[in-house]
Structure 1
Amino acid sequence: MTGETKMIIITSNEDIIRQFSLNKPKHTHIVDLDNNKQVTSMNNNDNNIMNLAILTELSELNSKNDQIYKRALDSPHHGRSKQVKPSKKSFDMDCAICGDRAIGFNYDVLSCASCKAFFRRNAYQPLEKLKCLNRQNQCLVTRDVRRKCQRCRLARCFAVGMRRDFILSEEEKQQRKQRLQENRNISLKRSSTSDSSSLSPEVSPNSESHTESLDDIDRILMDIDYNDENIFCHNSFDLNEIESTLSAEDWISIENVRSIFLSNFNNHNTNCVCVDISDRTTALLSWSQFISKIALSFIDFFRHIDEFENLHDDDRFTLIKYNLLCVFAIPKAYLYQSVNDCCSFDNNVLAEQRRRFFILCGDSNGIRDNFVDVVHLLVDLTGQDPIILSLIMLVFIFSQGLSMNIEESLLKDPLAVYRAQNHYTQLLWNYFVNQLGEIEACKRFTRLMTIMIRVQLSSKAFREFFRTQYMISNIVDKMAPLMQTVLNIS
């Protein structure tokens, strides 16, 4: 195809898509952006199918050398679908419902003024009581004809993700403004008296065992009063300022991260029943293969993040090698179910299977229980919001020294890693403030810091426990190669 013109066309025009599909021109690919894993190749050439071959290689290689995984992280992803960041100056975006010019994110969806007002008026109307204009429930919703079929327009609003729980009544708006004003007054009063207050002496922490440290963290979490109005920030915002904490660019970054997170973990198989627990050696080897596959999903997620992809090659490898264990509980928190889950407290088959595995491996220090506790803490903190969980995962992966491993290599460009961590920390804070208000955001961040410490301690104990199990069983050469790196054996 040397000398031929190559072009990328992005369209939502169904007529154009239909023509491409019917004519089937050669050397043409259709990528469904609503399904990142679906790629249609018109000429059925296997070389044209988008895949993650370089990541698959990780689970198939049989070597202890860290350079294998470093090479995989260094290699460019020629086939992966890259998220495109819009220019800061170009925010003429289309309404997700009708295609008109959007005015911003309304009720969690990029939309125009007309669709915003329409959804506010009709969000609580039951769809089944509305009649479709053509009685087929498939009317086209565009700028020119959006007013013709109320039923299909409302269905379209829900389909693209508009949330009626985001609609505030006038009374709720007034209450919110009043609370913000009260918080500002409290902040001003306390800041005026802070100069005359004396500082309490600093208490140096004692060195405790892992179990005692985790108990201390539990007490801290229990002591946090979720209704304590004494928690405040010195820079309170009014309602308009809170709504502006997230710019259009911020919302686009958040949506990119959310979509990448869901494409990697929404249908993720974290079912531990696939681990063979017929005997100790078999269980350890089977578990290493199971965890290795999950690790590949994490690597794929991070390689779709520009800030990670643009890091120095050695720094990408170091962050994956030492911080990967610390983020394992995050997708599990998103997928967690209160019943019939391997991390639930009831005696279901999955939970019993997980308990038997850890008992078989000689767990007497509550390694499994610590992991389950972290999952539940994250569920409670985030409400299983994929945006919060994905942002936390990025904050964690960019945290140098999170693993508390003295063997961790120094970063080549620590400033770039710090900037990435700071960016996603700020984004997480702004999202909390936007969704919950500043006081609740302070409470959530306080809880997140204690959870982060718990993650550090439990991950360190987890790594040391399994390193010991594989080494004393003399099966290091037989375990999944990627796990040798994650457990810092190789």
Structure 2
Amino acid sequence: MTETPPKPRRKCLICSVPVVAAHFGMDCCRACASFFKRRKLSGKKFACRAGDRKCLVVKDDKFMCRRCRFDRCIEVGMIYDGPLRVNKKGADLMENSPSSSDTASPSTSRGHESILERIGREYNSSVDRRRVQEERILGECEDRKLVPHPTQKIYLANYRTSVQTYNVCVAETLIFFREAFPSLLELSKQERDLLFKGYIAKFSMIESHYRTRKVWGEVKRYCMGSVLICVDLECTERWLGEEDGGENRLELLESIRSYSNDQFALVLPMLNKAQITSKEFYALLALVLCEIDSSSHIPDYVLAAVDEIRAEVFEDLQRYYKEEMGLSDFSTRLGNLMTLNHTIQECNSLFQEFFRMNTTIFDLNQSEDLIKELFS
């Protein structure tokens, strides 16, 4: 008689204690759920005990930092959408105002476009524009080569077409960034510039991995570099010709292979496990924006603007899980999505290291000028 394998232990996404039931639609303990609800009801704001908002949130800590505990609740997507306390003045105003049945809020009215719908619309419009420009680039490439694919026209990338399509991607992603996140237009040009420069690499990574899996399934040979071109990872020599690589070409190619393998080893298992939908992909395009390196010296009010985007995405995600997917407990899906988000941050660190080691093959001056021009 075969033994039934033990079920994996569920842990609170906030403080990591074991849990057996979901609260607010996710794996969190009753204590953390109650703490979050009390904080939302009271409206109190807490200061970080250490001052750097990096405290560990563990149940055994006698003096758990309330600010970092609340931040952790927000980070994992916790939302309390129940009734909030209203003061006497507010209650009088409500009595004299039209009833909620007469005036639906923008977030609940049928005609309102949610943030995930806006991201999806702008992303797909961006892809359509990129496809047209990439077709023109490939049409002017004399040595273009189709890669065998049952349903799509996919071309093999080389260094020169990669640089050209990357510049197109930078320009179009900047337009997407502006249109998908209009609240950021209230920031200064310099602040938007900082956010975008931290965003473009992560956007490119998650799009590349998502598109690769969508086009090639679990085939590990090809990696989509843009909308229409891919890199043959089993033959990177085709990507970087002898005239482009210089005297260190072979070492560079080995570095590219190693970097690609590390990226796939991190992301592919998580993508296979998460099986994200298109709407979860749109959410991820926003969540990678919201993960900001603490060393980037972003002002607090800019972080607050980004936090508002994160909260809006989580609220829309919960509605999507409940209403469109019919899930009462969506902690697994949301947990997988957040793990994938953190994995992209790891990939970004790998990319920064790889880029620093191999800057000789990247000509980003044109892209930097384009960023400055489009932000002005």
Report the equivalent of 2:285: 393
Q: Distance in 2 between matches of 1:314 and 1:411?
A: 15
Q: Unaligned stretches of 5+ in structure 2?
A: 1-20, 35-57, 62-77, 83-104, 135-152, 224-228, 241-249, 372-376
Helix, strand or coil for the counterpart of 1:461? helix
Equivalent residues in 2 for 1:6-405, closer than 5 Å: 191=30, 201=60, 247-248=108-109, 252-253=113-114, 254-265=116-127, 268-269=130-131, 273=155, 275-276=157-158, 283=159, 287-305=162-180, 306-336=182-212, 340=216, 344-346=219-221, 350=230, 352=232, 356=236, 357=239, 360-363=252-255, 366-372=258-264, 373-374=266-267, 377-378=270-271, 381=274, 383-385=276-278, 387-401=279-293
Alignment TM-score, normalising by the size of structure 2: 0.51
C-alpha root-mean-square deviation of aligned residues, in Å? 4.5
- Displacement of 1:393: 0.8
Say whether the 8 Å CA contact 2:287–2:310 is kept in structure 1.
Answer: yes
1:14-60 deviations in Å (ceiling 9; x for gaps): xxxxxxxxxxxxxxxxxxxxxxxxxxxxxxxxxxxxxxxxxxxxxxx
Measure the CA separation in 2 of the matches of 1:411 and 1:390: 25
Deviation at 1:464, TM superposition (A): 2.0
Instruction: State the TM-score, normalizing by the size of structure 1.
Output: 0.41
Is the 1:327–1:396 contact (alpha carbons within 8 Å) kept by the matching residues of 2? yes
Q: Distance in 2 between the 1:354 and 1:408 partners?
A: 40
- Kindly report which structure 2 residues correspond to 1:421-436, keeping only aligned pairs within 5 A, or say none: 421-436=310-325
Tell me how far 1:234 sits from its aligned partner. Answer: 11
Cα gap change, 1:436/1:347 in structure 2, threshold over 3 Å: closer, same or farther? closer
Looking at structure 1, the residues matched to 342 and 369 of structure 2 have their Cα atoms a distance apart, in angstroms, of: 24
Q: In structure 1, what residue type is equivalent to 2:315? A: Q
Native 8 Å contact 1:291 1:483 kept in 2:
no
SS in 1 for 2:232: helix
Is 1:447 equivalent to 2:332 in the alignment? Answer: no
Distance (Å, rounded) in 1 between the aligned partners of 2:258 and 2:302: 37
Partner Cα separation in structure 1 for residue 261 and residue 344 of structure 2: 12
The one-letter amino acid of 2:324's match is: Q
- Deviation of residue 340 (structure 1)? 4.8
3-state SS of paired residue (1:344): coil
Shift in Å, 1:321 = 0.7
Separation in 2 of the partners of 1:366 and 1:377?
Answer: 19
Do the aligned residues in 2 keep the contact of 1:312 with 1:413 (CA within 8 Å)?
Answer: no
> How many Å apart are 1:465 and its aligned residue?
0.7
1:274: how far off?
5.5
Match of 2:303 among 403, 406, 414: 414
Which residue number corresponds to residue 144 of structure 2?
none
Identity across the alignment (%): 14
Shift of 1:263: 1.1
In the aligned structure 2, how far is the partner of 1:409 from the partner of 1:323? 13
Report the Cα distance in structure 2 between the residues aligned to 1:183 and 1:398, rounded to whole angstroms: 25
CA deviation vs aligned residue, 1:270-324 (integer Å, no higher than 9, x gap) = 8985642xxxxxx3x6544332222222111111132233333222111101122
Tell me how many residue pairs correspond in the alignment: 245
Structure 1 residues 418 and 335: CA distance shift in structure 2, 3 A: same
Shift in CA distance, 423/340, structure 1 to aligned 2, threshold 3 Å: closer
**Is the radius of gyration larger for structure 1 or structure 2?**
1
Describe the superposition over 1:319-367 as per-residue Cα deviations: whole angstroms up to 9, x where unpaired: 10112211223333553456657x8325799552575149743327842
Give CA deviations for 1:181-203 in whole Å, capped at 9, x if unaligned. Answer: x979x99xx859x99xxx8646x
Aligned to 1:36: none
Shift of 1:248: 2.9
1:264 is displaced (CA, Å) by 1.2
Query: Do 1:312 and 1:412's aligned partners in 2 also have CA atoms closer than 8 Å?
Result: no
Contact 1:333-1:375 at 8 Å conserved across structures: yes
CA–CA separation in structure 1 for the residues paired with 2:122 and 2:208: 16
Deviation at 1:445, TM superposition (A): 1.6
Q: Structure 1 residues 364, 442: closer, same or farther in 2, change over 3 A?
A: same
Relative to structure 1, the CA distance from residue 419 to residue 399 in structure 2 (aligned partners, 3 Å threshold; closer, same or farther) is: same
Whether the aligned pair in 1 keeps the contact of 2:178 and 2:184 (CA below 8 Å) is yes
Question: Cα–Cα, structure 1 residues 250 and 329, in superposed 2: closer, same or farther, change >3 Å?
Answer: farther
* Match status 1:458 vs 2:347: yes
Query: Contact 1:395/1:421 (CA < 8 Å) preserved in 2?
Result: yes
| Alignment-mate amino acid for residue 426 of structure 1 | E
The residue type paired with residue 366 of structure 2 is P
